[in-house]
Amino acid sequence: MEKINYIIATYPGITQQRLYYDYSNAVEKQLKILQHIFKQKKEMGINSLIKQITIMVTKCKNEHLNVENYYKFDEWKLLFDEDVKIIFQDYIGSNNYYSYDQWIQGIIKNWDEYTHHIIIEDDYCIEKSLIDFDIQLINIYKNKFKDNIGYLASRTSSSSNRPYHACVSNGIISTDTMKKLIDPLALFYKKYNNTVEAQVVFSCIFTDENIPLENYGEYFRIPFWRSHTKTLEDLSLIPNIKQACFIPVQELN
């Protein structure tokens, strides 16, 4: 039976990209949508595959303005019943890699207990109407990766200066996949340098080891918040798909 760890990468600071949106309650919006979904599941008699929500806890850098009351530890613990465990995991490191080493740390610490890990950022959430999103993601994952080895992202692409990678990185990865890598965190740091984006490196720790990378573009639309233009864009691979899975919090407005 699949057991999913839902990992939220976070940052309690205002960067240049975050100047034009109030992120003080973005995580709470995401958690309350999950709370709604879990409640609906229970009322409909649908078993939730998500058994833990892991919130990665980081510190604001000195050069950024700290978001007040970003982490509401006591309040968030009360949002979920005994069926879903919520934990706060302290991030260890320099925090120069955006969400990517946060996700790896969240997976490694919990991989003996969970079969799969949904990875998402604090400025995204689940589409509220997609009550069975966990089941759908698992089914897509099994369809894409028959041996349960692979990284299913929202959107993948390549260009003249970037290899094939997850350009919208929210998605799902199995524990079996991570365990195929020898020390995935060290591998990520080894591959990273200041000339390569952390986003690309995260994909390369899989593709360089011949672990497949796929997207879910034929199943869900792919909304994206373009921070430098402050606009919502549609990066969907197939036209006229109405159902989304991961959405930017800006779309809630």
Reported as a single tens digit per residue, the pLDDT across 97-133 is 999 999 999 999 999 999 999 999 999 999 999 999 9
Domain range 4-252, CATH architecture:
Alpha-Beta Complex (3.90)
Residue 193 has a pLDDT of 77
For residue 32, pLDDT over 90 is answered with: yes
End-to-end CA distance of the chain: give it in Å, rounded. Answer: 37
For residue 227, pLDDT over 90 is answered with: no
pLDDT tens by residue, 37-75:
999 999 999 999 999 999 999 999 999 989 988 999 999
Q: What does the pLDDT average to over 224-241?
A: 92
Higher pLDDT, 246 or 20: 246
Give the pLDDT band of residue 177 (cuts 50, 70, 90): very high
Residue 21 has a pLDDT of 81
For residue 195, pLDDT over 70 is answered with: no
Residue 15 has a pLDDT of 85
Q: What is the pTM of this model?
A: 0.97
The mean pLDDT of the chain is 94
Span of 71-85, 134-148, 169-183, 190-204 with lowest mean pLDDT:
190-204
Q: What does the pLDDT average to over 11-33?
A: 89
Residue 178 has a pLDDT of 98
For residue 20, pLDDT over 90 is answered with: no
Dihedral sign of CA atoms 37, 40, 44, 47 in order: positive
Residue 58 has a pLDDT of 97
Q: What does the pLDDT average to over 200-210?
A: 97
Residue 3 has a pLDDT of 98
pLDDT cut 90: percent of the chain above it: 86
Residue 16 has a pLDDT of 80
pLDDT tens by residue, 151-161:
999 999 998 88
Rounded to whole angstroms, the Cα distance separating 16 from 169 reads 20
Q: What does the pLDDT average to over 16-22?
A: 79
